[in-house]
Amino acid sequence: MAECMADIHEREALLSCSINRDESKHKYVPKRQIPVDRCFAVYFIFLFLGIASLLPWNFFITAKTYFQYKLRNTTAPDVSYNNPASMTELQLLLLSYLEIASTVSNLICLCFTAMFVRYISLKKRVVLSLSVIILLFAVTTILVDINSDEWQTAFFGVTIASAAAINGATAVMTGSVFGLVCRFPPMYTQSVMTGQAVGGTFAALASIFSLLGSGTVSESAFGYFMTATTVCAIALVAYALLYYLDFSKYYITETDDSHLNAHHNDGPVSTEHLGHIEFYTAIIKKIWRQGIGVCAVFTVTLSVFPAVCSTIRSENYQQGDPWSDKYFIPVICYLFFNLGDWIGRPISGWIQQPSYRHQNVLLLLCLFRVILVPLLMFCDAEPRTLPVWFRNDAFPIALIIILGLTNGYFGTLNMMYAPQRVPLGQAEGAGVLMSLMLTLGLALGSGFSALLIKLL
């Protein structure tokens, strides 16, 4: 603990009074005073980057109605395309395959980001990845107006491949943004995490509003995906602004010198002096509890959301009923989860319990969330072979809200605490590693979700 506190003091000293080496005199001289984040402009830019980092994934999983229509049984009436009794195999497998393909791609690309974080500039990684996301979302938007009834299997494959590519690019962007934001004070990490929850809520609301519209499923989906394309384009512009604001320029450029000055134990932690293994091993020794914690949080969440949660139907389900047939899943599953997630993330900035010192307690609470998996499995999810224990709609509503709240709260606490446990010179590496562990949790959770769907 003494070593951890020493690292924190070192980090705070670097943040409050960074130093610069005068090569001609071989001594250190004070740097300029830290600028002010005027009107919280940088905070809101990171919030928006957080929105863009999860928006692609959220738009894919909340467009379930559109994909169900595209993959429907074309020999049955169109009105029954989302009837559980007449769903095709492709409809039933879509969300699980989307989760697996997307999170595996996410994990692989994030591993490459960790490997090349010291060789490919941050700016190139973010700009290229956002450009790929925008291009692929534009293609997804175009596919909406193309009749795919005669090649549904091919459309299924294209959708899975597109989601995997988009999420791979998103992984590079997210890992890079987390690496960057860890150079800033902890509240900016919380802003990225909150932005991710805002993106999920925005996607859920967009899906509901598209259903409320008078247009067809395809027309609603076109506007839906076009919105996602526009948001990602705005995120690219917002990222560029970071290089023009004094506050963000200070942390982007001035803290680069800390890689030369930060020390770990008896030697420098400069990325120029340490290899990959030594560099990341030094970080892992300090943040492994936070890494396992955030991995556990998202493993539990992705094992049941959205694959299991989106199959839970109302106790008063009637085909064609506006609430139970059309709006129940978008509202109860997607909107309530994302609202809970959104509420939980900013709360972590105000109420930090367990505290920074009680990292073992935090880890145990993250692991204890696994109890939510069997509870949700025994709600009235369709189709099923398991018995139903909780038929009343109050049970899935409460469980999904708790799932979202704890996901946002515990996930953000881990992401905030981790960079505080390392010297500033290791902050970007800590951010990338935490993003990697978060993505590993997504991959594990998506794998378990396919198994849980089969157990239903």
Q: Which CATH number fits the domain that encloses residue 217?
A: 1.20.1250
| Residue in 201, 167, 216, 232 with CA at minimum distance from that of residue 65 | 216
Locate 454 and state its tokens: 């089969």
pLDDT value, residue 84: 64
Integer Cα distance of 234 and 229 in angstroms = 9
Integer Cα distance of 259 and 285 in angstroms = 19
Is the pTM of the predicted complex or chain greater than 0.75?
Answer: no
pLDDT value, residue 79: 59
pLDDT value, residue 10: 40
**Tally of domains within the chain:** 1
Cα dihedral 173/98/151/142 (nearest 10): -30
Confirm if 187 and 37 have CB atoms less than 8 A apart.
no
pLDDT value, residue 275: 59
pLDDT value, residue 301: 95
pLDDT value, residue 398: 95
As to burial, measured by CB atoms within 10 angstroms (0-12 exposed, 13-18 middle, 19+ buried), residue 22 is exposed
Output the CA–CA distances (angstroms, integers) from residue 33 to 39, 66, 424, in the order listed. Answer: 18, 53, 17
Which domain does 381 fall in, by range? 2-455
Integer Cα distance of 395 and 415 in angstroms = 30
In tens digits, the chain (456 residues) has pLDDT values of 444 444 444 444 434 443 343 433 333 344 557 888 989 999 999 998 988 887 777 777 767 778 888 888 777 666 566 666 677 788 878 877 887 787 788 778 878 877 776 677 888 888 999 999 999 888 888 888 888 888 888 988 988 898 889 888 988 888 888 888 888 888 898 899 888 888 888 778 877 776 776 567 777 778 778 888 888 899 999 999 999 999 998 888 765 544 444 433 333 444 444 556 777 888 899 999 999 999 999 999 999 998 888 888 888 887 777 787 778 888 888 899 999 999 999 898 788 889 888 999 999 999 999 999 999 999 887 766 778 888 889 999 999 999 999 999 999 999 999 988 988 778 778 888 898 898 888 878 878 887 888 887
pLDDT value, residue 402: 96
Composition of the chain by helix, strand, coil, percent to 5: 75, 5, 20
Integer Cα distance of 347 and 353 in angstroms = 10
